[in-house]
Amino acid sequence: MSIRVVVGTQWGDEGKGKMVDYFAQSADLCVRFQGGDNAGHTVANEHGVFKLHLIPCGIFYPSCANLIGTGTVVNPDELLKEINELKKGGISLDKLYISEKASILMPYHVDIDGLTEKDVEIGIGTTKRGIGPAYAGKAMRTNLRFEDLADNVYVRARLKKVLPFINAQVEFLGGEAYDADKLADKCAEWYEQLKSYIVNPISLVQTYKKQGKNILFEGQLGVMKDLDQGIYPYVTSSHPTAAYAAVSGGFSAKELDDIVGVTKAFSSAVGAGPFPTEMTDSEASVLRGSGQNIDDEFGARTGRARRIGWLDLVVVNYAAQINGLTALALNKVDKLDDLKEIKVCTAYELDGKILEYMPNSRDLYKVKPIYKTLKGWDKPTTGCKCIDDLPQEAKDFLKFIEDNTGVTVRYVGMGPDRKDIIL
């Protein structure tokens, strides 16, 4: 038995979907442990190209059960869309499960998010999918959970109790108030469509543990977007770090066997906030791509062009410390193929002092990255099947990362497909 967690070590968009898809080949249960449909995990396999927002990437393997975990917030309409798209693609949903303890993301959560983002003074560049308001509702204890849907009388009474508070917020932001009875009717529709997927998550996870099965936990975004440890306030509203997999799964964190940090060979970010190694647009265009290829740097959920920067090992080291990484999966190494020189940030300068640790979020705006310039390989790496096939300069790049993080690069991604991985 193994319990493996896949987390992002940067700002998100590191290629976690590809790695989870790869690991799911040997997994018996795949659990999405946090976030919502703001995620965009792109998976390219023999079935086609899919962009998953809520459903775990293990769904493509008939032998792998898939749980949308307790720590997620789930928009039922978006989930139903995703289910239908997968069915059209010939993918079985027989082993898809939803935690009864997961919070329901309601239409008013989406409204509050979108209306808030209209205000440039308080907007932070969210996906406007309602994720933050849904987690806020969870903390305020105004949310419904999937376990509630079985009792529409309770749902109706609950909505009539909490909606005055929620409607006051919606109307203050310029939106229209919601009707409790209409929302309760909508909840009844959701239940009829989704009730076959709703399960007790603790029972499910513990059953797989007792049977000695392999369990895979899939995170969304990266450490720099963690609510507590990230670049606050430019963060998500959950915890995309390894320890939260145990919280969402309902077991002890000491039982985690393998914590794989997915890292991109350069950096990217979406939305506002500090980004120390950011390139100019002219420099970034080479790594960003045109948007015509599935692995170009444009958001799978939003389509927004990502901000691009050099690899920042201060960030990766920070992720290694917080997550307790046992291995790195380095993606998109092939994107560096045409570069004669590659910069890697190894420290920051702040007010004349050298920092090898993560400063506070405000100081991140002021730091100057200290770079080590490495020789590029200036030749294609696509088609390389093992480490020995890589140019020497590429091998030097990998070793430099290992030497400066203390974490082994166990997997090297050279393209978007699950087959494009060097072990």
Catalytic residue among 21, 37, 41, 111: 41
Active site residue 47: no
φ/ψ (deg, to 5) at 226: -65, 140
- In the structure encoding, which two tokens stand for residue 60, read together? 């493509």
Number of Cα atoms under 13 Å in the Cβ half of residue 292: 2
* Cα separation, 7 vs 263, whole angstroms: 9
Catalytic residues: 13, 41
